[in-house]
A = this chain, B = another copy of it.
Amino acid sequence: MVYADRIEQLRAMMRNRGWDVVIVTGSDPHGSEYPAERWKCVQWLTGFTGEAGDVVVTLDHAGLWTDTRYFIQAVQQLEGTGVELHKMRVPEQVPIPEWIRQKFSGESEVYIALDGLCVGAGFAREIKSGLNADGAACHLVSVPNLLDAIWADRPGIPQTPVFTVDPGESRIERLGRLRDWIAEKGVDYVLLSSLDDIAWTLNVRASDIEYNPLVISFLLVGPETAEWFVLKDDVEDEGTEKTFAELREDGIFLRYYEEIEIAMSEIDGSVAAADLNYHLSSLIGPSRLVETASPVQAWKAVKNPIEIGGFRDCHLQDGIAMVRFLHWLDRCMQNDRAVSEWDAAVHLGQLRAEIPGYQGDSFETISAYGPSAALPHYITPKSGAPMLEPHGLYLCDSGGQYLNGTTDITRTWALGPCTRLEMEDYTLVLRGHIDLASAVFPLGTPGCRLDALAREPLWSHQRNFGHGTGHGVGWFLGVHEGPQDVRQNLNGVGFEAGMVVSDEPGIYREGLFGVRHENLLLCVSAGSNDFGSWLRFEPLTLCPFDTAPLLVDMLTPAERDWLNDYHALVYDRLRPYLDESDADWLRGRTIPV
């Protein structure tokens, strides 16, 4: 058994070096939501492919810590590995620091090894203080690339071609914002380690991480200097060389990626950084490190007019592809064509690939028919995917990365007759989508205070969904970005004009079906009066909702007006770019209800 063998190899290494514990995380040195292959260490060691999971290995135990979303998957994937599942986000959870404390209770010394580059500084400190409080001397041994010794064919650091984008604000101006911020904070440097912060600041993109147009690197900015730790061995790409030359002209000093470690150990002055990994935090040291939130997060959340224009343009193109896709789907069902979930995803991908500026999908398409859609994070299998049938609901959640923006859209489509329950759920979720999309609210209202608007139609029927209602979206960057969101968690970040957020309520019926309706919304000013300043949303996404499974009588007059207005807008905007057949279909699909 390959994974059991790997764990035993790791234990051999532990015995040689005198380590009691090794912690292996699913993160990369940049705290990325989706790490590159090189950093999928948990998957390599245990076979577990979920997006959230950490592993702890001792000489007599190996455990995977993951949350509710992945329990079923973890049980399946861990079978035969000897790795035990430790459940998180359940009332009886025992987090890793507490588990280690209990496990080594009474010991005088504990040696814990970890790849400090891939562990957050806060997490490491928590482990250490837990053991220390219990009276044990805890030695954290930070070994960069710890698994290299036993992972023979480990992938290298990705190095895809780097290119520039023009969001209407130059990198000189964006570095200027950082320098003003440094001055205000009274620090000597700011170190950016989050990859989207760096891409935004320098107006650079690459494809180092699947679905995320990012360049694996660090950026250190001082009052006069900017050092970009980006160079890797053997880059021979003309475009990249051109990009690098352009950055050098802008006064940015390019250094090798690995030099960040030396640079941080030798740095002279105070360094502000957000969510830095344990290894770099330790190199900088507590006397020089100023832990603080990244200002770039808030800046990049508010899109400028050029970025907003790009968002509108790419949503128009993305909407055309979606209309062609849904029209094709309708034809397939009418003609009894055999189409699997995978076939549908592939066809949609091909339509998007024809769009000028298309750079790839913004995440893995969820193409889910019937019971498949009851899993909000369903992964469509390439082989053996379920076939679509001409009845019930098909859910497709997908998006594209374009040079002028990022899209993310979910439509739930009736492939034929639906049950009463399907239609009720479909309608209630659409009511929730509309109620959030049509909200007017005071400037600075946080999304958690709006979340109930999207849930109330479901709540009133004692139905609900377990995921967030909305996330921020990057401009040709990660499809999930903060700091604003619309969730149950009490996040106090308030909405401002220029923010982009998804609106995606849903409902999931195990073994039966799932419904989700998602548009991206742009937050815009709705003016000011005696009561203050007001905001509202404008839909960026342009694609009809299926009115066939809609129980129109359940809509309020205002919800019905919103839907009819939206469908009129979709038709008006897309019509000029459609051929006769698609246009006819769209006219039929946007008739007022």
A contacts, CB < 8 Å to B: 439-442, 445-446, 448-453, 456, 459-460, 462-464, 488, 490, 492, 526-527, 529, 531-532, 534, 556
Q: How far is the CA of A127 from the CA of B223 in the complex (A)?
A: 34
Q: How far is the CA of A532 from the CA of B439 in the complex (A)?
A: 27
Question: In the complex, what's the smallest C-beta–C-beta distance from A467 to chain B, in angstroms?
Answer: 13
Check A440 against B460 for contact (C-beta < 8 Å).
yes
Question: In the complex, what's the smallest C-beta–C-beta distance from A447 to chain B, in angstroms?
Answer: 11
Check A532 against B490 for contact (C-beta < 8 Å).
no
Asked whether A448 and B534 contact (CB < 8 A) given A441-B459, A456-B453, A527-B462, the answer is no
Question: In the complex, what's the smallest C-beta–C-beta distance from A461 to chain B, in angstroms?
Answer: 8
Partner of A446, one of B442, B490, B531, B556: B490
Q: Which residue of B lies closest to A438 (CB)?
A: B460
Q: How far is the CA of A509 from the CA of B451 in the complex (A)?
A: 29
Chain B residues with CB under 8 A of A529: 462
Question: In the complex, what's the smallest C-beta–C-beta distance from A526 to chain B, in angstroms?
Answer: 7
Question: In the complex, what's the smallest C-beta–C-beta distance from A227 to chain B, in angstroms?
Answer: 33
Question: In the complex, what's the smallest C-beta–C-beta distance from A489 to chain B, in angstroms?
Answer: 9
Chain B residues with CB under 8 A of A456: 439, 453
Chain B residues with CB under 8 A of A440: 459-460, 462
Question: In the complex, what's the smallest C-beta–C-beta distance from A308 to chain B, in angstroms?
Answer: 23
A439-B460, A449-B451, A463-B531 given; 15 more Cβ-contact pairs under 8 Å: A440-B459, A440-B462, A441-B452, A442-B459, A442-B464, A445-B452, A446-B490, A448-B449, A450-B452, A452-B452, A453-B456, A462-B526, A462-B534, A464-B532, A556-B556
12 residue pairs bridging A and B, Cβ less than 8 Å apart: A440-B459, A442-B464, A445-B452, A449-B449, A449-B488, A452-B452, A452-B453, A462-B526, A462-B527, A462-B534, A464-B532, A490-B492
Number of copies: 2
Partner of A531, one of B450, B462, B534: B462
Q: Is the interface of A mostly helix, strand, loop or mixed?
A: mixed
Q: How far is the CA of A464 from the CA of B463 in the complex (A)?
A: 29
Q: How far is the CA of A448 from the CA of B488 in the complex (A)?
A: 10
Question: In the complex, what's the smallest C-beta–C-beta distance from A408 to chain B, in angstroms?
Answer: 24
Chain B residues with CB under 8 A of A556: 556
Q: Which residue of B lies closest to A534 (CB)?
A: B462
Q: How far is the CA of A449 from the CA of B468 in the complex (A)?
A: 13
Q: How far is the CA of A459 from the CA of B456 in the complex (A)?
A: 16
Chain B residues with CB under 8 A of A445: 452
Question: In the complex, what's the smallest C-beta–C-beta distance from A406 to chain B, in angstroms?
Answer: 28
Question: In the complex, what's the smallest C-beta–C-beta distance from A589 to chain B, in angstroms?
Answer: 28
Question: In the complex, what's the smallest C-beta–C-beta distance from A232 to chain B, in angstroms?
Answer: 44
Question: In the complex, what's the smallest C-beta–C-beta distance from A111 to chain B, in angstroms?
Answer: 31
Among A440, A442, A459, A556, max chain B CB count under 10 A is at A459
Among A441, A462, A464, A529, max chain B CB count under 10 A is at A462
Chain B residues with CB under 8 A of A452: 441, 445, 449-450, 452-453
Chain B residues with CB under 8 A of A490: 446, 448, 490, 492
Question: In the complex, what's the smallest C-beta–C-beta distance from A571 to chain B, in angstroms?
Answer: 26
Q: How far is the CA of A456 from the CA of B440 in the complex (A)?
A: 8
Q: How far is the CA of A439 from the CA of B462 in the complex (A)?
A: 10
Q: How far is the CA of A450 from the CA of B451 in the complex (A)?
A: 9
Q: How far is the CA of A213 from the CA of B246 in the complex (A)?
A: 75
Q: How far is the CA of A534 from the CA of B448 in the complex (A)?
A: 19
Chain B residues with CB under 8 A of A488: 449
Q: How far is the CA of A167 from the CA of B410 in the complex (A)?
A: 54
Question: In the complex, what's the smallest C-beta–C-beta distance from A487 to chain B, in angstroms?
Answer: 10
Q: How far is the CA of A446 from the CA of B451 in the complex (A)?
A: 12
Q: How far is the CA of A446 from the CA of B487 in the complex (A)?
A: 13
Q: Which 10 A-B pairs have the closest CB atoms?
A: A490-B490, A464-B531, A440-B459, A462-B534, A449-B452, A440-B460, A441-B459, A463-B531, A490-B492, A462-B529
Q: How far is the CA of A492 from the CA of B489 in the complex (A)?
A: 9
Q: How far is the CA of A581 from the CA of B354 in the complex (A)?
A: 79
Question: In the complex, what's the smallest C-beta–C-beta distance from A459 to chain B, in angstroms?
Answer: 5
Chain B residues with CB under 8 A of A463: 531
Question: In the complex, what's the smallest C-beta–C-beta distance from A445 to chain B, in angstroms?
Answer: 8
Chain B residues with CB under 8 A of A441: 452, 459
Chain B residues with CB under 8 A of A464: 442, 531-532
Question: In the complex, what's the smallest C-beta–C-beta distance from A443 to chain B, in angstroms?
Answer: 11
Asked whether A459 and B439 contact (CB < 8 A) given A452-B452, A556-B556, the answer is yes
Chain B residues with CB under 8 A of A526: 462
Chain B residues with CB under 8 A of A492: 490
Among A450, A456, A532, A556, max chain B CB count under 10 A is at A456
Q: How far is the CA of A441 from the CA of B453 in the complex (A)?
A: 12
Q: How far is the CA of A463 from the CA of B532 in the complex (A)?
A: 9
Q: How far is the CA of A492 from the CA of B488 in the complex (A)?
A: 10
Q: How far is the CA of A462 from the CA of B529 in the complex (A)?
A: 8
